[in-house]
Structure 1
Amino acid sequence: MQYSLQDKYELNEKLRCTTWQYSKMLSLFRKVSERYPETKEYSFYGFLRRLKLIQRCIQKTFSIFPIELTAKLSGEDNTDLEIYIHSALINIYGALDNIAWTWVVAMDVKGKNETQLKGMQVGLGKNNKYVRDSLPDEILLTLEKIDRWNKEFLSPLRHACAHKCPPYIPPSCLSTEDDRTYRNIEEQINSEYSNGNFNTVKTLYAQLETLGSPAPYLIPSFAHESEPVMFHKTILDDWNKLFTLSCSFADYLLTVPYIQPE
């Protein structure tokens, strides 16, 4: 699994856009936190701090593993990459919750019998009935466009990270030819090891290290047959959906008449 030339061009363009997108979200949610000071825990300390972390994770991901990379990563770089992607996925999901809580507090959304919403009642998913019912059509339309992404991509990845295992990025990606060579060398290693030829074994292991190319994908889960996820594309797609959704919420909150909380 590798990126095409068109993929690389589009990813680099999206990466460049993250700078101004970050600035816009930063400006909008600062204004939201100022207009609705009661939301500051979620809009300022929550959403904006997560936003800073996510942007940094994206920058470090592309710095450690540029999409033009041809040489395999060191073990330390590979681990650092897993850390940054893990953090990005968790914080993107958390940023959506911050948006939901900002909305609930700012618009004083209530539950059944005018009770305060708690815990799992607050969110942007289809099961969050009270929140969804309170949304104006323009925000709901934006949200409905990304429901499938949230259900099929972001949520499964986040839940795997939080409850099963962190993202795993293979140390290399083997072509069909490299795979055959790898298996042959493994057989030689087993044979030489049995014969006590440890210097030869060491040489053969060094040959294994020369095979393959860097793997631009992660494995979300080992318990099930999950498809590999191209992580450069995934975190930028997640970022862009977060940008679209956050701007939609912020624009509405900054134009609707403000009602002082009792």
Structure 2
Amino acid sequence: MSYLTPEQIEKIEERLTEIEPRYNRLLLAASHRNYLSEQGAEYARHGYLRRLGTLRRCIENVFTLIPPDMNNIPDRNVLHDAQINVQSFVANVYGCVDNLAWVWLFESGLATKIHRNRVGLRSKHIEVRATLSASLQSYLQKIDPWLDYLIEYRDALAHRIPLYIPPGGVPTKNVDAYNDLSQRIMDALYVLNDGFEYERLSAEQEKLLVFQPLITHSVKETTAHFAFHAQMLADFLTVEELGYKILDELSGLAKKP
């Protein structure tokens, strides 16, 4: 039985088909505009948009390696490849947000007035937010919880425990049977010295595991586990939306005398 319901899988797969056309529309919108500064253009075209292309490809790779309707436990190498893509995805989502902050500062002529260590769009970046329109400040306040989630996972990836996909979980109803088999497996291996029984019991125990498409980092530090199919799509759409918000902000600059 799949971790996700048929309705959830259908919704995820429908949203997946939107990623490519959304990426292409934003690519055209952000790459073809006339920027006021070389640095702003570079951070938009070679920073934000390059990262956005990486996000698109990471989504494609993860969905190919581990489809949303997968219920068997993936091969170890498949899990490892998916983890690599999830890790790259999170790092580049974080990078997209920072790139957009720099685009705004270069285009508005404020890049030299705010120290680089204070550049960003999170709630702590008071100086940067104060230069934005009231509507964009309100939007950023609305997505503050998302920005907090992003920094937690990015910091864990960069500085502490890397993100990973657990190979399988034991449903509550199977815990007792799983533990009983664990003891019998140890007995078969170390007491009975019976390799055939060990293999038989191990295969029986594996049937009790259920694959859960979740990402996590430290078991003690994380605030939540996320279903990575839906989370990756949501993150892409948020980064896309934020990109359009910054483009609108830049259009406002062009209208000023």
Using the size of structure 1 for normalisation, the TM-score is 0.88
Q: Counterparts of 1:224 and 1:245 in 2: how far apart (Å)?
A: 28
1:222 matches 2:219: yes
d(CA) in 1 for partners of 2:154 and 2:34?
Answer: 27
Going from structure 1 to structure 2, the CA distance change for 1:67 and 1:33 (only over 3 Å counts) comes to farther
1:101 maps onto 2:102 in alignment:
yes
Which residue is equivalent to 2:87? 86
What code does the residue aligned with 2:107 have?
A
Asked if residue 155 in structure 1 is aligned to residue 151 in structure 2, the reply is: yes
Deviation at 1:44, TM superposition (A): 1.4
How far apart, in 2, do the equivalents of 1:255 and 1:234 lie? 32
Please give the residue correspondences for 1:1-262 in structure 2 after superposition, counting only pairs within 5 Å: 2-32=3-33, 34=35, 36-109=37-110, 116-151=113-148, 153-199=149-195, 200-224=197-221, 226-254=223-251, 256-257=253-254
Stretch moving more, 250-259 or 53-62: 250-259
- Residue 52 of structure 1, CA deviation: 0.8
Deviations 1:76-114, CA, capped at 9 Å, x for gaps: 00011111111111100110000000100010126xxxx
| Structure 2 CA distance for aligned equivalents of residues 167 and 12 of structure 1 | 24
Contact 2:108 2:253 in 1 (8 A): no
Task: For residue 31 of structure 1, report the CA deviation from its aligned partner.
Answer: 2.6
TM norm structure 2 = 0.90
Q: Tell me how far 1:155 sits from its aligned partner.
A: 1.5
State how far apart, in whole Å, the 2-side matches of 1:39 and 1:99 are.
Answer: 9
Q: 1:225 to 1:25 in 2, by over 3 A?
A: closer
Contact persistence 1:53–1:88 (CA under 8 A)? yes
Q: Structure 1 residues 160, 37: CA separation in 2 closer, same or farther (over 3 Å shift)?
A: same
Fraction of identical pairs, as percent: 26
2:244 is matched by which residue type in structure 1?
A: C
Q: 2:35, 2:107 within 8 Å by CA — same for their partners in 1? A: no
1:219·1:226 contact (CA, 8 Å) conserved in 2?
no
- State the aligned residue count: 254
CA distance in 2, matches of 1:216, 1:131: 37
Secondary structure at 1:256 match in 2:
helix
Q: Kindly state the Cα deviation for residue 129 of structure 1 after the two structures are TM-superposed.
A: 1.7
Question: 7-16 or 162-171, which moves further after superposition?
Answer: 7-16
Structure 1 residues 188 and 6, CA, compared in 2 at 3 Å: closer, same or farther?
same
In structure 2, how many angstroms separate the alpha carbons of the residues matched to 1:35 and 1:180? 65
Is the 1:32–1:250 Cα contact (8 Å) retained in structure 2?
no
Gaps of 5+ in 1: none
Name the stretch that deviates more: 186-195 or 250-259: 250-259
Q: Is the 8 A contact 1:220 1:226 kept in 2?
A: no
Q: How far apart are 1:33 and its partner, in Å?
A: 6.4
Is the contact between residue 36 and residue 107 of structure 2 (CA under 8 Å) also seen in structure 1? no
The 8 Å contact of residues 3 and 71 in structure 2, kept in 1 or not, is answered as no
CA distance in 2, matches of 1:193, 1:78: 27
Distance 1:80 1:17, change over 3 A: same
1:7-64 per-position Cα deviation (integer Å, ceiling 9, x unaligned): 2222122211111211122112213465543323311111111111111111111111
